[in-house]
Each structure stands twice: as C-alpha cells, then as structure tokens.
C-alpha cells in the first residue's frame, strides 16, 4: 500500500513583538496566521474498521492541533522570556492573554516549536511530515521532518 500525506489547515489570530529587532516588528503587531500540519502514513486497509481507507481521521488532527497549539496561541500576544519583568507585567496588563516563550517569537522559531509540540501526538504509524506557518499571504516558514532527523 502507498504512503500518503494528509494535511489539515488551521487559522488563528496572534500578535507578537520581536525584542531587539531593527525594523517595525520591534513593535507589537498582529497577523492572521495559517498553519498547515501534514502527516504521512499508510491508509488503513480493514473493511470492518470505521476508519478504513484513512491515514488518520481529519477530526483527530483537528482535535490535537486545537488542544496543543490553537487554544494557547489564538488571540494572544507572544513575547520572549528575555523581556525584563516590568515589560512582561506591562504586556500582561495591557493585552491580557500573553504567552511568554523561551525564544524570539519569529515565524521560524514558532514553526519549530509547533513541530516539537506535535511530533509525538499522533497515532502509531502516523508521522509528522511537515508544519508550515504562514505569517502573511506571501511569507511562511516550514519545518520538515526529513530535514530534522
């Protein structure tokens, strides 16, 4: 049986600020993100099973990604833990849902974090192939499993 890749797309709204950046992204600003999670595996070949013909149920992908990524980051402001405590408190006070990460919250670092968070969450025999995070309509970062083995 052939290996097949399946992809589920998600959208969420998020703001971030890049500490020490030398351009406009040093200010708090937001994006409408598009996240593509691609898995690979062999479709189930069991006519008696309700998931026959599927690599993985798209609803299972949805449930995992919503729980692990979207619910945490949607409508949040993401900042680096490198900010001083006063700035962190100000961000939390001003914006409410503030996520503090241990990296500069660039598209590249976020896609790597998302991949690391998701890679062991899927059923046996189903592998995380890639994660693509689109920050704008024409800019994205992509994590691919084979590049990270």
Give the residue numbers annotated as catalytic, written as ranges.
25, 75, 135
Pairing assessment for the beta strands 29-41 and 127-136 based on DSSP bridges:
antiparallel
Which of 73, 92, 89 shows the shortest CA–CA distance to 32? 73
Q: How would you label 77-108 residue by residue, b for 16+ Cβ within 10 Å and e otherwise?
A: bbbbeeeeeeebeebeeeeeebeebeebbbbb
- SS (HEC) of 94-142: HHCCEEEECCCCCHHHHHHHHHHHHCCCCCCCCEEEEEEEEEECCEEEE
């Amino acid at each position: 049986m052939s290996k097949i890749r399946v992809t589920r797309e998600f959208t969420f709204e998020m703001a971030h600020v890049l500490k020490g950046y030398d351009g406009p992204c040093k200010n708090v600003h937001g994006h409408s993100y598009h996240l593509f999670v691609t898995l690979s595996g062999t479709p189930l070949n069991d006519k008696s099973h309700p998931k026959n013909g599927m690599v993985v149920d798209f609803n299972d992908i949805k449930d995992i990604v919503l729980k692990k990524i979207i619910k945490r980051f949607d409508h949040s402001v993401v900042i680096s833990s490198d900010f001083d405590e006063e700035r962190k408190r100000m961000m939390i006070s001003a914006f409410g849902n503030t996520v503090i990460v241990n990296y500069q919250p660039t598209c590249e670092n976020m896609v790597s974090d998302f991949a690391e968070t998701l890679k062991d969450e899927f059923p046996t025999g189903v592998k995380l192939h890639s994660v693509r995070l689109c920050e704008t309509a024409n800019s994205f970062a992509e994590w691919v499993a084979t590049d990270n083995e």
